[in-house]
A and B are shown apart, each in its own frame.
Chain A
Amino acid sequence: MDSVFRGLAVYAFLFLIFRIAGKRTLNQITTFDFVLLLIISESIQQAMIDSDNSVTNAFLLVVTLVGLDVALSLVKRRFPRLSKMLDSTPVVVIEDGHLHRDRMDKERIDESDILSAAREHQGLERLEQIKYAVVEQSGRITVVPKQQD
């Protein structure tokens, strides 16, 4: 019985922690964040297993976790407002060439992050070539270039 509770508790806890941490935490590509995600998985594992190394426990945990994922995705389709709370929404940080610095601050990104994304996805060179930049739900920054005349 406790396998289910343990799986649920760990899932809910990690979900809450990463929502508190913000979109970019899950998407950063610096070494520090990569190490962080690795260590988190190690920290959680022992607690979920709790000295029960049986195949039964492993199956129960997986069923609980995947089942919870499926249940949540169904709930989100049914209640779109809940979906916004659970999944976050994209944030437009450059709108028609204009930088929204307050939103960039809140999302903890700066111009170099946007430029890096612009180079990576669009091969752009300068900030003024960007028409729209959006911090997506996943934390990735996507860029729409200005139309070349």
Chain B
Amino acid sequence: MAGPNRVGDLQIDADLDSQRGEWRFERIGWAAMLLVVAATLLGAFGRGPLSRAEAGAAGGPLHLRYERLVRHNSPAPLNLELAPGAAPDGQARVWIDHDYLEQFDVDHIVPEPESSAAGPDRTTYVFRVADPTRPARITFGLVPQGFGRLRARVGLAGQPPVELSQFVFP
């Protein structure tokens, strides 16, 4: 290893060329940080306009509102809207792919289901609907435990399922 350089009377390991490269790297880094902040504000990392998603026809029997970009261990609620008439006997049967549920901590379900049933590939929740002639809303308080792409289907018994797609940031 060569000994330190000299700058005038100083023995010092200064390297101006290398330093200039480093200054350029700093400036590029600042631009990147600015981009990250801008993207964050837009919701590119979740919790913003870019990240809000809906699934299911607006007037259809089942309509989902959720965040398509979510983060590990950070709440990612799944909101369901049931159209009037979706629960003719005052009971709404909602099922969710079990593969999807496995990726989450289910922190709370509002309202609490009356019962739930396990199936080979899906879990079914039965909710009491106060007034079957009006829309009903259910919220699953989900907290992602893994990371990566997630795809799932959610359905109302007897109706075609609705697909949702999310990405979990680590």
A residues apposed to B, CB below 8 Å: 9, 16-17, 19-22, 50-51, 80, 84-85, 88-92, 95-96, 106, 131-132, 134, 144
Kindly list chain A residues whose C-beta atoms are within 8 Å of the C-beta of B170.
9
For the complex formed, measure the closest distance between the CB of A4 and the CB atoms of chain B, giving whole angstroms.
Answer: 14
The reply to whether B22 and A88 contact each other, CB–CB distance below 8 Å, is yes
Kindly list chain B residues whose C-beta atoms are within 8 Å of the C-beta of A89.
13-15, 18-19, 22
Residue of B nearest to A96 (CB): B8
What's the dominant secondary structure at chain A's contact region? mixed
Q: Which of B1, B9, B25 contacts A19 (CB 8 A)?
A: B25
Complex CA gap A96/B6 in Å reads 13
If A50-B73, A51-B73 touch, whether A90 touches B30 (CB-CB below 8 Å) is no
Q: Can you pick out 15 interface pairs between chain A and chain B where the beta carbons lie within 8 Å of each other?
A: A19-B25, A19-B26, A20-B26, A20-B30, A20-B32, A21-B26, A21-B29, A50-B73, A51-B73, A88-B22, A89-B13, A89-B22, A91-B14, A92-B7, A96-B8
Residue from the set B1, B9, B16, B22 with the largest chain A CB neighbour count within 10 Å: B22
The reply to whether B8 and A95 contact each other, CB–CB distance below 8 Å, is yes
Q: Which of A20, A50, A106, A132 contacts B29 (CB 8 A)?
A: A20
The reply to whether A92 and B73 contact each other, CB–CB distance below 8 Å, is no
B residues apposed to A, CB below 8 Å: 1, 7-10, 12-16, 18-19, 22-23, 25-26, 29-30, 32-33, 72-73, 170
Residue of A nearest to B147 (CB): A2
The reply to whether B25 and A20 contact each other, CB–CB distance below 8 Å, is yes
Q: Which of B1, B10, B18 contacts A144 (CB 8 A)?
A: B10
For the complex formed, measure the closest distance between the CB of B15 and the CB atoms of chain A, giving whole angstroms.
Answer: 5
If A19-B29, A89-B14 touch, whether A106 touches B23 (CB-CB below 8 Å) is yes
Complex CA gap A22/B26 in Å reads 7
The reply to whether B14 and A92 contact each other, CB–CB distance below 8 Å, is yes
The reply to whether A92 and B15 contact each other, CB–CB distance below 8 Å, is no
Complex CA gap A89/B32 in Å reads 23
Kindly list chain A residues whose C-beta atoms are within 8 Å of the C-beta of B26.
19-22
If A20-B25, A20-B33, A22-B26 touch, whether A84 touches B15 (CB-CB below 8 Å) is yes
Residue of B nearest to A134 (CB): B12
Residue of A nearest to B170 (CB): A9
Kindly list chain A residues whose C-beta atoms are within 8 Å of the C-beta of B7.
92, 95
Complex CA gap A92/B26 in Å reads 18
For the complex formed, measure the closest distance between the CB of B70 and the CB atoms of chain A, giving whole angstroms.
Answer: 15
Kindly list chain B residues whose C-beta atoms are within 8 Å of the C-beta of A80.
1
For the complex formed, measure the closest distance between the CB of B22 and the CB atoms of chain A, giving whole angstroms.
Answer: 6
If A20-B30, A22-B26, A106-B23 touch, whether A132 touches B10 (CB-CB below 8 Å) is yes
Kindly list chain A residues whose C-beta atoms are within 8 Å of the C-beta of B72.
50
Kindly list chain B residues whose C-beta atoms are within 8 Å of the C-beta of A131.
9
For the complex formed, measure the closest distance between the CB of A133 and the CB atoms of chain B, giving whole angstroms.
Answer: 10
